[in-house]
Chains A and B, each alone.
Chain A
Amino acid sequence: MEHLAQGFLDVLTPATMFWVAAGVTIGYVLGAIPGLGKATGVAVSIPLTFYLQPVAALGMLIGIAKGSAAGSAVSAILLNTPGEPSSAPTALDGYPLARQGKAQKALKMGLFASVIGDFVSTVILIVLAAPLARYALLIGPVELCAILLFSLTFIGGLSGGSMLKGLIAACLGIFFATIGLESETFVPRLTFGLLELDDGISLVPMAIGMLAVAEMIVQAGNLKKLDVETQAISDSSTREDNIVTGAEWRRCAPVIARGTLVGSLIGILPGLGASVGSFLSYGMTQRLSKTPEKYGTGMIEGVAAAESADNAVVPSSLVPLFALGIPGSVIAAILIAAFILHGLTPGPLMFQQQPRLVADIYAAMLCASFIMLAIGYTCQSIFAKIIRVPMRLVIPGVLLLCCVGSYMETSSIFSIYVMLFFALFGYLARKLDFSFVTFLIGFVIGPKLEFSFRQSLQLLNHDPANLMKHPIAIAFIVLTAATLWWLGGRKRVQGPSAAGDGGAVPATDIAQHRKGGSQT
């Protein structure tokens, strides 16, 4: 990689650095604003980069993608409204921390986890792009089906207080995902004659309605109490609560390492995406923890797990794009057009034809990680003040941005109807204590599992014996069975006390809140 040194020389010019920094900043702010996310940010910015040098343009676009993945943690932590679905697990522990007056701490942990995940994953992309992409090709639909099944065993633990309600929410998620053209025979399912529903319910407006709008409605109904709490928070700022302590670093280091690994692997596999990465990492961390029942009440590890994986997905999802020309994620698909516009055709020939431009982009990506740290750190102290703004001033602005974000993807008012429908749905889910996290998982993973299963049936020529030719799939099926057996066994042993734990969760929640208030 003698090219990489040259790459840094090319990138470390004021002009290029300016655009990369601009990209990261735009991304970070877009990500932090509920309703606007990385896909919209990158898509809208492509025309703006027409007039830039290729390196500056591509560095800026990748900067937006990276920055918004990190920024989405901000609104998740401060407002309980994830900027993107993939930051939903961040809110589970980040928001309770913020209400306890530890917003700065949670934001810092989120940022550090994001930067580490992002940086390590970028290094993986640079060092291992070609060989890893070859291995990723071994993962076909049959293997993918087994991996998805395995990931469900971990994610099942995210259902909150009641397993039954969590499962019901997951089923509803799968149900809504069935809307649209069925992908094998192209029969429209449940579209009620609306052409707009042919491609199914789009994740972006659905998630905005469910996560952001619904949360704003809930908080609007809670204004008095929140105002009192906000008052209390604004007075509490001991140093302990604003930094990440050494002990917390030690607890979070393995969590971040695991999250980075999970995120990087999920990114390399085609079609899984950042949401699966962060949910899986959070789920694993909770499952493997000694105190799983405390998750959801303000465990700093939860923030670290979700954010490190969320950000690690972004660079590694470029692995199949760079090495094979295959877009591994929505971001990668949008970037293809940008790359071609700027004279770089993603694919195996890229490294031979334009090694210098590739090296430049790698260098720009590494620089973007550090810029992200600097910008995130600066912006955070500003953003953190949001939590001291009375909610009645925050809510209208957030609602406006939600509408803008929903509209932008399809340029049609229909997306706003979708958003409103799921806002109502999300509101009822919150009030009745159904987990919207499992709903999202059902919505995201359910259809992928169904589709890969149907692909597998065809690929295996309808004969289960052919499964023997897919050792990776068999390994994951065995792992799934073992995990289920282990989980079942643990439940049986802890039977009586487990029920007690379930009851204790809300109690701790309230206790923690009180504690947060009394520290003033």
Chain B
Amino acid sequence: MTIFTKRSLLGAAFGLALAVAGGTLPAQAAEGYPSGPITMLVGYGAGGQTDLVARAAAQVLSGELGVPVNVVNMPGAGGSVAAHELMKSKPDGQTLLFHSNSVVNSAPFIMERVNFKPDDFEYAGMITAYQVGLAASKDAPFNTLPEYVAWAKEHPGSSYGALSPEARMYINRIMEKDGIQVNIVPLKSGGEMLNALLGRQVELAFSGGIHFRNPDELKTISALTTFRQPSAPDVATIEEDGYPLAMDTRTTLFLPKGTPRDILDKLGAALKTAVTDENFQKITESANIPIMYLGVDEAYAEMNSTYEKHKKILSK
């Protein structure tokens, strides 16, 4: 189904490009926008947290802009494949990417051959934040990061579940600083991570936020964001505990470089209605994903500052 819409959409995009070339000023680009169905790329497969938010946001955008917004999952290399695809698209707002901003502010420092920079794209806003944290079983003998470190010192050879390079980075830095010895157990997905924690295979694990689904069995030990997390407001951030390692990631609306500013504004305004949209609220709330809207200008500022900060943290 998506294939056919995509094809007709290419035709529409081509028509718009001709119209622009035919003398329409870019400043008025938003007037005829959107000129047809919008393609929303998502850099993860169907069924993940990001995909969930993307589909809910697509519904909101579609309602605001009055055209269908078709979600196209293009998984691969943490979103880099989809981001490359976006770079090849026309900067007319008809193709956009809904993805974690980690693909620009973290992936280049972690993955070989990925070298995105903040000014490779335009941004129309950010909508939700990831509640990344360190999680443990409810009855674990520690509640905070300092308590965990003290416990791990007395119990060398305990296990830590890591599902990404960032996850390894955190425990490695903690091990370096505090001189503890922990075994890093590789995990493949959030589901496996839950399994390992609930089955008491590992004592501590890095979580992208999925652990909030089991509030009766799991607890958060440390928030790995610069802010305290809405789902666990009493848990200190890792920076409060004295490790300058907090990294924020948010779902972001990416557009190809050169997209006119008024199209960005129009998209940003449409995205903002998601904040008060009942259905969007319901979906994000039941998945424990906090809405933290940032407008167009704020999104640019956030992208640039986190890029510099994560570069320092990750390329040590």
Q: Cβ of A139: which chain B residues have Cβ within 8 Å of it?
A: 199
Q: Which residue in A195, A327, A411, A461 is a CB contact (below 8 Å) of B84? A: A195
A449 CB–B CB distance under 8 Å: no
Q: Cβ of B55: which chain A residues have Cβ within 8 Å of it?
A: 46-47, 337, 341
Number of A residues near B (Cβ < 8 Å) is 54
A138 to B195, CA, bound (A): 10
Q: Which residue in B114, B164, B199 is a CB contact (below 8 Å) of A138? A: B199
Task: Evaluate contact between B76 and A410: CB separation under 8 angstroms.
Answer: yes
Task: Evaluate contact between B214 and A324: CB separation under 8 angstroms.
Answer: yes
A217 CB–B CB distance under 8 Å: no
A508 CB–B CB distance under 8 Å: no
B75 CB–A CB distance under 8 Å: yes
A141 CB–B CB distance under 8 Å: yes
Q: Cβ of B143: which chain A residues have Cβ within 8 Å of it?
A: none
B145 CB–A CB distance under 8 Å: no
Q: Which residue in B81, B183, B185, B287 is a CB contact (below 8 Å) of A195? A: B81
A215 to B194, CA, bound (A): 41
Q: Cβ of B157: which chain A residues have Cβ within 8 Å of it?
A: 461
Q: Cβ of A341: which chain B residues have Cβ within 8 Å of it?
A: 52, 55-56, 283
Q: Cβ of B185: which chain A residues have Cβ within 8 Å of it?
A: 141, 455, 458-459
Task: Evaluate contact between A337 and B47: CB separation under 8 angstroms.
Answer: yes
Instruction: Flag B74-88 by CB within 8 Å of A: 1 or 0 each.
Output: 111110110011000
Task: Evaluate contact between B184 and A325: CB separation under 8 angstroms.
Answer: no
Given contacts A43-B73, A195-B84, A451-B188, contact A270 B195 (CB under 8 A): yes
Task: Evaluate contact between A326 and B71: CB separation under 8 angstroms.
Answer: no
Task: Evaluate contact between A412 and B74: CB separation under 8 angstroms.
Answer: yes
A156 CB–B CB distance under 8 Å: no
A188 to B112, CA, bound (A): 8
A223 CB–B CB distance under 8 Å: no
Q: Cβ of B80: which chain A residues have Cβ within 8 Å of it?
A: 195, 198
A327 to B164, CA, bound (A): 18
B186 CB–A CB distance under 8 Å: yes
B276 CB–A CB distance under 8 Å: no
Considering only residues 429-484 of chain A, those with a C-beta below 8 Å from chain B are: 451, 454-455, 458-459, 461-462
A439 to chain B, nearest CB (A): 22
Considering only residues 39-98 of chain B, those with a C-beta below 8 Å from chain A are: 45-48, 51-52, 55-56, 59, 71-78, 80-81, 84-85
A362 CB–B CB distance under 8 Å: no
Q: Which of A118-126, A159-167, A247-255, A343-351 contacts B (4 or more CB under 8 A)?
A: A343-351
- In this complex, the interface size class of chain B, counting residues with CB under 8 Å from chain A, is 35 or more
B191 CB–A CB distance under 8 Å: yes
Task: Evaluate contact between B286 and A196: CB separation under 8 angstroms.
Answer: no
Considering only residues 194-225 of chain A, those with a C-beta below 8 Å from chain B are: 195-196, 198-199
B2 CB–A CB distance under 8 Å: yes
A336 to B200, CA, bound (A): 23
Residue of A nearest to B54 (CB): A337
A126 to B76, CA, bound (A): 36
A224 to B282, CA, bound (A): 61
A340 CB–B CB distance under 8 Å: yes
A50 CB–B CB distance under 8 Å: yes
B201 CB–A CB distance under 8 Å: yes
Residue of B nearest to A140 (CB): B201
Q: Cβ of A347: which chain B residues have Cβ within 8 Å of it?
A: 213-214
A271 CB–B CB distance under 8 Å: yes
Given contacts A196-B81, A459-B159, contact A325 B286 (CB under 8 A): no
Task: Evaluate contact between B48 and A199: CB separation under 8 angstroms.
Answer: no
Q: Cβ of A407: which chain B residues have Cβ within 8 Å of it?
A: 3
Residue of B nearest to A329 (CB): B191
A337 to B76, CA, bound (A): 19
List 7 tightest A-B contacts by C-beta distance, closest first. Answer: A334-B47, A137-B199, A43-B46, A198-B77, A461-B157, A184-B186, A458-B183
Residues on B lying within 8 angstroms of A by beta carbon are 1-3, 45-48, 51-52, 55-56, 59, 71-78, 80-81, 84-85, 110-114, 157, 159, 164-165, 168, 183-189, 191-192, 194-196, 198-202, 213-217, 282-283, 286-287
Not counting A341-B56, A410-B73, a sample of 16 additional A-B residue pairs whose C-beta atoms are within 8 angstroms of each other reads A43-B46, A44-B1, A137-B200, A140-B195, A141-B185, A186-B164, A186-B168, A198-B78, A270-B192, A326-B194, A333-B189, A337-B55, A340-B283, A340-B286, A341-B52, A345-B213
